[in-house]
């Protein structure tokens, strides 16, 4: 088990023969302690389930989860599955002794500002594919694959844990197959799991596809505030394109995720080995030095933070912007936008100067910090360009993918829409002042003493 924030209770001195060092985790059904095995003088994780103080039904359910996790765990021997060493059942408690993983759970890396480098993500999921393939060949379907149940050790190796909800396809005499209706974490559940259909290894591969999507984009493929809406989307909506959401990803990732998350079981990966094989092909499209790219992203984040355009953006929104944008360089005289073409991408000038024209006549020039192409993005019905933009100097340009922004968080969409609208209105006001300087003198009106409140005009008494 990975080290977690300690909870407040004073731990016991020993659990069986194991010397307790400290508490490292606490959930709804169990407490996990770091302990020392006196026989091997190694650190282990001891997961303790209390069977006292609960009603009879809850105690039976906890005992059933314990028996499943321990029975399945003792049977599985794989480098990417947490090893179970021993199970002990006592009158008022039960505990499982497992290998201790010094690291973090994968849910620490799903935030848009904490995403792992791309090659590490692919490597982690590749190894999880093989681990799940092995587990299924041993007659085990996990049924609760999610980031919190995948631990990452100091050498970037994943370790799948928590088989308490597993489906054991090799029941022994006098035991059932531990089939429990409706188990799992909703956002990661496959369509067949939601429908309570019979399950096989394909449900775990679907969940792994969801995790891959989340690790690459910083968001879940299907989101909703209400559980019923989430379920509807999982059952009925197509999986979004990860490459549309993050243009920096290799194109080969899209078909892999689409196949892993197929709603049709016959079209989904048949086993983890096939999933892993396709991922291995994508690995060759990924630069090995994307750790360097992450350092550059950190530098770019700091640069964006200093730009006036992003002054009202939260840090998390700036990080999300980095995932949907492309940094581009253009030589002098490059055409950036051409009048009459279609396009919803827009951008922010980082360095350089751009001339904007219409019908061969100069409208204005833009320099660092200004936005280009925003009108076609904001227009609700037309993506037609009505101006031409040409780089007047070598240009450094942050291009925002319009399609990716439409798939991003609602908070980021609102922030961009509001910021762009304010800038369009400011530009319109500047145009009005410029036109006024070359216009004819205005008519001089006369002030009246009437006042207007809302739509009511108040006349003098």
The token pair that represents 375 in the structure block: 């009108």
Q: Is the pLDDT of residue 319 over 60?
A: yes
SS (H, E, C) 20-45: EEEEEEECCCCEEEEEEECCCCEEEE
Q: Is the pLDDT of residue 170 over 70?
A: no
Q: Is the pLDDT of residue 7 over 90?
A: no
pLDDT band at 179 (very low <50, low <70, confident <90, very high): very low
Q: Is the pLDDT of residue 195 over 50?
A: yes
Which one of the listed residues 39, 113, 133, 144 is annotated catalytic?
Answer: 144
CB proximity list for 386: less than 8 A, separation 6 or greater: 339, 358, 375, 376
pLDDT at res. 172? 52
pLDDT at res. 205? 96
Determine if the pTM surpasses 0.85: no
Residue bearing the bigger pLDDT, 323 or 329: 329
Quote the Cα angle for 399-401-406, to 5°: 145
CA distances for 83 relative to 45, 78, 86, 157, angstroms:
10, 8, 9, 14
CA distances for 348 relative to 72, 229, 352, 357, 423, angstroms:
54, 36, 11, 17, 12
CB proximity list for 290: less than 8 A, separation 6 or greater: 117, 118, 119
Q: Of all residues in the chain, what percent carry a pLDDT higher than 70?
A: 89
pLDDT at res. 218? 87
Beta-bridge partners for 84: 98
DSSP code at position 169: S
pLDDT band at 183 (very low <50, low <70, confident <90, very high): low
Secondary structure E strands in 5-117: 14-15, 18-26, 31-37, 42-50, 84-89, 93-99, 103-105
CB-based contact 32:23 (threshold 8 Å): yes
CB proximity list for 158: less than 8 A, separation 6 or greater: 80, 106, 124, 127, 128, 131, 150, 151, 152
What is the arithmetic mean of pLDDT over 122-151? 92
* Length reported for the chain: 461
Rounded CA separation 434/422 (Å): 18
Rounded CA separation 376/257 (Å): 31
Q: Is the pLDDT of residue 430 over 70?
A: yes
pLDDT at res. 270? 92
Beta-bridge partners for 95: 48, 88
410-437 helix and 315-324 helix, angle to the nearest 10 degrees: 90
pLDDT at res. 292? 47
144 is catalytic: yes
pLDDT per position as a tens digit, 211-266: 999 999 888 999 888 889 999 999 999 998 988 887 778 888 999 999 999 999 99
pLDDT at res. 150? 95
Residue bearing the bigger pLDDT, 76 or 456: 76
- By mean pLDDT, which of 9-23, 130-144, 156-170 is the weakest? 156-170
CB proximity list for 21: less than 8 A, separation 6 or greater: 33, 34, 35, 36, 43
3-class secondary structure, 244: helix
Strands across the sheet containing 150-153: 103-105, 150-153, 158-160
The torsion region of residue 349 among left (phi > 0), alpha (psi -120 to 50) and beta comes to: beta
Question: Nearest 10 degrees: CA dihedral of 377, 380, 386, 389?
Answer: 0
């Amino acid at each position: 088990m990975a080290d977690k924030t300690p909870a407040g209770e004073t731990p016991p001195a020993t659990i069986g023969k194991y010397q307790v060092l400290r508490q490292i985790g606490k959930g709804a059904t169990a407490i996990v302690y770091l302990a020392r095995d006196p026989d091997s003088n190694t650190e282990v994780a001891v997961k303790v389930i209390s069977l006292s103080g609960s009603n009879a039904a809850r105690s039976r359910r906890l005992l059933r989860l314990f028996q499943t996790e321990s029975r399945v765990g003792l049977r599985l021997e794989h480098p990417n599955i947490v090893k179970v060493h021993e199970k002990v059942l006592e009158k008022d408690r039960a505990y499982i002794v497992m290998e201790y993983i010094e690291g973090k759970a994968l849910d620490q890396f799903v935030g848009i500002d904490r995403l792992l480098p791309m090659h590490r993500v692919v490597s982690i999921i590749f190894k999880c594919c093989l681990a799940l393939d092995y587990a299924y060949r041993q007659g085990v379907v996990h049924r609760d694959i999610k980031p919190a149940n995948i631990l990452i050790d100091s050498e970037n190796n994943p370790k799948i844990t928590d088989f308490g909800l597993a489906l054991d396809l090799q029941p022994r005499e006098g035991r059932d197959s531990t089939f429990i209706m409706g188990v799992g974490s909703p956002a990661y559940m496959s369509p067949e799991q939601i429908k309570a259909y019979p399950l096989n290894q394909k449900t775990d591969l679907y969940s792994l596809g969801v995790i891959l999507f989340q690790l690459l984009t910083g968001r879940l493929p299907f989101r909703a505030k209400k559980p019923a809406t989430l379920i509807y989307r999982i059952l009925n909506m197509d999986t979004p394109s990860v490459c549309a959401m993050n243009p920096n990803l290799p194109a080969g990732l899209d078909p892999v995720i689409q196949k892993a998350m197929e709603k049709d079981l016959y079209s989904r990966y048949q086993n983890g080995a096939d999933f892993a094989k396709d991922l291995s092909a994508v690995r060759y499209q990924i630069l090995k030095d994307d750790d360097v790219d992450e350092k550059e992203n950190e530098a770019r984040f700091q640069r964006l933070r200093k730009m006036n355009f992003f002054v009202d953006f939260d840090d998390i929104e700036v990080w999300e912007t980095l995932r949907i944008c492309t940094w581009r360089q253009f030589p002098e005289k490059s055409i950036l936008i051409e009048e009459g073409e279609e396009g919803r991408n827009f951008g922010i000038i980082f360095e350089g100067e751009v001339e904007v024209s219409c019908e061969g006549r100069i409208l204005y020039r833009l320099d660092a910090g200004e936005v280009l192409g925003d009108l076609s993005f904001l227009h609700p019905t037309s993506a037609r360009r009505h101006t031409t933009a040409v780089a007047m100097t070598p240009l450094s340009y942050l291009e925002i993918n319009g399609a990716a922004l439409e798939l991003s968080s609602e908070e980021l969409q609102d922030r961009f829409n509001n910021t762009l609208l304010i800038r369009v209105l400011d530009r319109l006001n500047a145009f009005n002042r410029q036109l006024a300087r070359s216009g004819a003198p205005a008519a001089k009106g006369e002030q009246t003493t009437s006042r207007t409140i809302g739509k009511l005009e108040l006349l003098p008494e």
